[in-house]
Amino acid sequence: MAKNMTLIERDSLVISGILEKGQNITDIDRVQALQILQMNYHDSGKIEGCFSCDSSCHGCEFCQNMREKGKNNPLLICNYCYDNEQENRWENVKKRHELNLLILSSIEFSVELFKTHPVLGILRENSSGDVENLVHAKNLIYIAYANPSTCVGLWSKNVKVVDKAFSILGKPKNMVFVQSSPIIGHPAKRSQYADYLFTVYATEKDLQNALVSGAMECNGKKCKECGYKCYLRQWPIGSNIAELLRLKNKKAMQAIQNALNKGM
C-alpha cells in the first residue's frame, strides 16, 4: 500500500481484496472486515447518546430506485433525503458510509463474529442509508442477537427484504423495527414485524391532525429529550410516530402542497 494513502483508501483496498475471494472468504477475512466496519457514538445531534450503524443512500440501489420514483411524485419523502445532502456536503462521510454498506451487504457474518464487535446502550441502525439486500438485513439482525443487552432500533423503508430476513432469523427481543412511510402524510400499511410506523407530515396542521388521531410526536426532538421511547417500546405497539417536514425550499413545498390538494 502507498504511504500517502488515506485511512479510508486503505480500508477500501482491504475490503476489495476480501471481496475478490468470492465464495472463498474465510472467518479471518470476516474478522478483518468487522475491524473496518464503523459503528459510531453520537455525542450531539438528533440521536445524541446513541451508537449508529449506518450505510449510504448514494451506494444503495434501493435508495436510488426510490429517488428515481420520486421524480414523478413530489410526495415521496426520499426526494428530500437529509442523508443525501449530508453526504454531498461531506465527502469523507459519504465514503465511509459507502464502505459500511459494501461490507454489510456483501459479506454475511454471524452472531458469534458480531460478538467480537460489541456495542453498548442504544444502537440506531440506518440513521443514514437503508437496507440494500437480504445479506444486509440479516447482518443487522445478527448484530441485535450478538448484543442482547443493547436496545437496537432498525429504521427501514425496504420492508419486503427486512420481513424476509425476520422470517428466516426471527426477531430479537431487544430489536425494534420502525417502518418508515415512503409517502408524506400517508402512514404505510404496517408490516407484521414492525413495532411502529414513522410518517413525515408536510404542514403543522397535518401534523396536529395526525396527533389528534392518535399519532405519537417525534417532531424534531432529540431522542434523549423524548426518553428514547421508540427504542424502549414506550409508545403503544403499532403507533404511528409523526414528524414535521423541515424543508426550506419554497418551490418544493408548493409542489408537495399541490400534490396533497390533488389527493396524490
Q: Specify the pairing of strand 196-201 against strand 51-53.
A: unpaired
pLDDT tens per residue, the chain (264 residues)?
556 789 999 999 999 999 999 999 999 999 999 999 999 999 998 999 999 999 998 888 999 999 888 888 999 999 988 877 887 888 888 999 999 999 999 999 999 999 999 999 999 999 999 999 999 999 999 999 999 999 999 999 999 999 999 999 999 999 999 999 999 999 999 999 999 999 999 999 999 999 999 999 997 789 999 899 999 999 999 999 999 998 888 888 998 988 888 875
The per-residue pLDDT for 82 is: 80
The per-residue pLDDT for 246 is: 87
The 3-state DSSP class for residue 57 equals: coil
Alpha helices in the chain (DSSP H): 7-19, 27-36, 61-69, 82-89, 91-106, 111-114, 134-146, 159-169, 204-212, 223-226, 250-262
List the one residue out of 224, 231, 180, 185 whose CA is nearest residue 208: 185
The per-residue pLDDT for 18 is: 97
The per-residue pLDDT for 1 is: 56
